[in-house]
Structures are given as C-alpha cells and as structure tokens.
Structure 1
Amino acid sequence: MRKFDASSEAEPGGMLVCVEQGEVRLLGPSGRWTLPAGFMVYIPTMRPYRLVAANPATVTLVKFTASETDWRHPGCWTVPIPVLAREMVGYSRRWNCLRDPADALANSFYEAIGRLFADWFDRKRAMWTPFGKAPEMQRAISFARANFDSVCVAEAASAAGMSERTLRRRFRDELGISWREFITELKMNKAMELLRNRQSVTETPLRLDLAVQVLLPWHSKSILECFLAYFPRTLAARSSIPNDRLTIG
C-alpha cells in the first residue's frame, strides 16, 4: 500500500482501475469519484484523468487496446467489483502493461475481460460528483454540496439564478442525471466520509450497526434504505450480519 498522485492526458486504449485496499479519488473532465476498497472504475480510451490516494492504498491497473473493450457509457463508470472480475483481474497480473502485442493468449484474455464490461457496468452512474461546465450549473452544484443535508431544488435554482424547472432539465440534459440522483450521490459520499471518520472502512470490517449509528441523524430511514441499496455487496461482504438481515423492517 502506498500514497500516489498520478495523471495522464489520455489513456490510449482505456484502463480498468480496481481498488483493493484504501480509498482512491478519480478526477476527470466532467466530475470526480471517490472509490472505496471493493470498487472498480473504467477510464475510457483517450480520456484525461488524475488518480489520487491521499492515504496508503492498493490498486490494480489493467490496460487495454481500443478494440478490446465493449464500452457503452459516455465517460468513466464505477461499480462494485464482481467476483468474476476479481478473479480475472487477478489472473491478468501475469502480464504487465507492456504485454507483447503478438501474445495471442494475452490478447484473447484481455478481450474476454473487455467484452464483459457490458454486463459488469450495466447500472446507473454512481460515486460521481459532477463539476458542471456552465457557471450557473457550477453555482447550483456548489450550493448543494455546501447544504447537502437540507437543500431543496428551489433553493439551488435560486442560487444558480434559474427556475426550478430549468435546473431539473439542465441536470438531465447536461449531466445525464436527475436532481434526485444528484442529491443521493452527495449523501452517499457524505455517508462514506462519516463512516471513515468513525471507523476505517478499508482497515476494519464495516458493520451495519455503524451505518445505522451514523446515518440515523439524517431523516434516517430513507437515507439508510438508500445506503443499503447503494452498497449491498460491499455491506454484505464487510459485515458480520447475514445477508438476510440486511433489510429495513
């Protein structure tokens, strides 16, 4: 495990980043992601990025050629690491990033991984906080981030100098997410931050009672339900509570 701060103007063939231990921040042209252990993100071909681990972390990087992946999203995407992906990424370590282009076995194996992206990444965008390109959108996002626990769309629209209806439309059209999805992302990121401050998610098991303790102060039940739906595999994998008890009653 080590700290790092790495960047690239463009990854020519795309790169899969698997966070094994610690936490990693990814910054791209359209936003940023905070990735805890157990998550992976794909950075598409020719996409500039910056990867930062402020504290020691372990990641596995898998680099592809442009023709090896079946990528169906407009930018970076993150998901919990599927079991099959973990096994295949582990096996890919037998080759380094400078693998021989004439190695038929390596090429076939990497193409098999890349073709599975369509299935592995088939879910809504998550862990993402958009930047916003237009100044008014940046104002709305900044206002929401500063007041995430109580902000409503009308207040954010007023701060941005536009109507509520216009703000909702511009979130959909310019960012590809709804206002509600954006607020959920903010709250999930804050939940992870609070959990980190109480107990390291990456160094000790994450127990459900910790999530309850931290999240109950915020209109509890709806947020907790969102949290469990958002990180079901992570909570199940890191909790001593059986899967059938990861429900809200």
Structure 2
Amino acid sequence: MTGFAQPAASPPPAANARLVTLRGRSGVAAGSYRYEGDAVDLSWHRHDLHQLEYAFEGIVEVETAVARYRLPSRQAVWIPAGLAHKSGFVKARTVSVFFDPVLVRDTAGRARVLPVEPVFREMIIYAARWPIGRPASDQAADSYFEALAHLVVEALDQERPFYLPTSTDPLVTAAMRYTDAHLDEVSLTDVCRAIAVSERTLRRRFHTATGMAWRQYLLHSRLLHAMTLLSHGDRTVLGVATAVGFDSASAFSRAFQAYTGQTPTAFRQERRRPPRLD
C-alpha cells in the first residue's frame, strides 16, 4: 500500500453495515484477538463491542463514513461499538482488545488513533492470553481488563491526527483522489484542471465538505504517506521527502516532527526494531 485507499464516494451508513458479534454465548466483558496477514481489505461492518487494535508491524487503515485513519506500527486505533467501518491490512501483525461498552464509556462515537506508551503496550500484549472467544471469564481476567479499560479512557484524550476526511461531495472526492495520486508535485491549479472546476469553487466546496482547506489536506496526506514510506522500504529521508512533494529534507523534517512528535529518523528506527508479541 503506497498511499491511502481511495476515498469512497458515498460511504454506507451504519444501518447498512453488517453487525459482527464477537463473544458468542460466553458473555465475557472483554477479550483479545490476534491477526497476522498480508494485504487484506475487510468489507463494511460494525461490532457489538468497542475495539482497540494495536499494530506491532505493518500498516492498518480504517475507514469510516467521515474519515480515513492511518495506523503505523506501534500505534493503536480505537473503534467504538456500533461504528460502521472497514479495515485494510498490509503485512500486519496486530492484537485487538474488545471491551463491553459498560467498561469504557465513549460518548464521542468516532474512531481515533492513540499513542501507546510502554506500560500500555505491555498490558495489550498480556491481554492476548484471554481470547474474546473463550468459553467463560474469571476474576483475574475481569480485573485485568477493568484496569486496561482505565488506561484506554486516559488515552482517548490524547488522539493522534493520523487521518484524512472523506466526503459525499463527488467533486471533493475527485479532488482528494487526484491529490493523493500526485503528492510529489501536485498543485491546486493541477487539481482544478484535472476535475474541471475553478479554484474558488473548489476551495469553497472543499472547506464546506471537510472543515479544512485543500492545502491542509495536501500536507496531511503527504505526511501520512511519508509514514508508510519510512516504515517500509530503503529510501533515505531525503528520498521520502522528495517522493511526497517536499523541496528539502529540512522542511520535511520540521513538518513531520510537528505532525508526529518524532523526527523522520526516530520514527523509522522505532518501527524497524523487531516487534514483540508473546
């Protein structure tokens, strides 16, 4: 995957997404699920439980009706119960923890990418000993997941901006597609020429549909794509900067650090360390 999946022209509402029940007849309050696989795209669905998915390696993308989230390795995505979404995985190893909504009260009802501090990560790893499909729970598991739920609540207030908006406006969707496909040298003039619209009209409709200016969208798309390139492949930092449209490595590094909290080199080194899942 070299960039975001194409934005949907009209994402289906939650009512049209199939409901996936995760705990069968056991009625456990929480549990985990491991995933390891190559390129997979799951269809639109929703869960009866909250999901916290942590990526040990690879790339995970989650699309909802209003946004597309990029999950680089060593980050987690929160997907609240009942939220219609679809997920894509590329050479990913993940572990998900599912919570009954009683354990984590999330009134926002939207997906979020969360930072994962070392203690939080180790607790997610340890949670893998209790699969969501187990036949019954026990006091140790219940106590453990209650403690983990408290950490989730704290993390929900520290979300990372690793997402792009989607739109049902076909003109705005076309602009997003063209932008994402030409990050190395795209301009607003290029986009407007490609989709046959004036710059004034596109600026107005883009902001109305997404709440952000086209140039802000471009910057976020470039940085999100850079995260993928830094996680995979052997390009230099300058090579990554050039590939996503920055004129210099220094300008790219400043923008990347402001967006992620890490320099490109530190980001790459962290994701190149062998992942641990045991």
Q: Shorter-normalised TM-score: what interval?
A: 0.7 to 0.9
CA distance in 1, matches of 2:71, 2:268: 16
The alignment partner of 1:116 has SS state of helix
TM-score w.r.t. the length of structure 2 is: 0.66
How much identity, in percent, do the aligned residues show? 22
The alignment partner of 2:157 has SS state of coil
Q: For residues 168 and 48 of structure 1, do their structure 2 counterparts lie closer, same or farther at Cα, with a shift above 3 Å needed? A: closer
1:85 is aligned, of 110, 120, 137, to: 120
| Unaligned 5+ runs, structure 2 | 1-35, 271-278
8 Å Cα contact 2:49/2:81 also seen in 1: yes
| Unaligned 5+ runs, structure 1 | 201-209, 241-249
Corresponding letter in the other structure for 1:239 = Q
- For residues 123-168 of structure 1, give each alpha carbon's deviation from its aligned partner in whole angstroms, at most 9, with x where no partner exists: 4553323331122321232232234344455765784562524432
1:219 is aligned, of 234, 241, 247, to: 247
TM-score w.r.t. the length of structure 1 is: 0.73
CA distance in 2, matches of 1:214, 1:65: 41
- Runs of 4 or more, structure 1, over 6 Å off, are none
CA drift of 1:101 comes to: 7.0
- For residues 66-109 of structure 1, give each alpha carbon's deviation from its aligned partner in whole angstroms, at most 9, with x where no partner exists: 12114354421113322222021122122111357764443343
The root-mean-square deviation of aligned C-alpha atoms, in Å, is 3.3
CA drift of 1:112 comes to: 3.0
User: Do structure 1's residue 41 and structure 2's residue 71 form an aligned pair?
Assistant: no
The alignment partner of 2:133 has SS state of coil
Corresponding letter in the other structure for 1:28 = T
Which structure has more relative contact order (CA 8 Å, sep 6+)? It is 2
User: Do structure 1's residue 145 and structure 2's residue 180 form an aligned pair?
Assistant: yes
For 1:207, the equivalent position in structure 2 comes to none
For 2:207, the equivalent position in structure 1 comes to 168
The alignment partner of 2:256 has SS state of helix
Corresponding letter in the other structure for 1:17 = E
8 Å Cα contact 1:7/1:48 also seen in 2: no
8 Å Cα contact 2:50/2:78 also seen in 1: yes
1:11 is aligned, of 47, 50, 61, to: 47
CA distance in 1, matches of 2:135, 2:174: 48
Corresponding letter in the other structure for 1:230 = Y
Q: For residues 150 and 232 of structure 1, do their structure 2 counterparts lie closer, same or farther at Cα, with a shift above 3 Å needed? A: same
Q: Following superposition of structure 1 onto structure 2, how do residues 146-225 of structure 1 map, counting pairs within 5 Å?
A: 146-152=181-187, 159=195, 162=201, 164-172=203-211, 177-195=212-230, 198-199=233-234, 210-215=236-241, 218-220=246-248, 221-225=250-254
CA drift of 1:48 comes to: 2.7
Give aligned pairs, total. 226
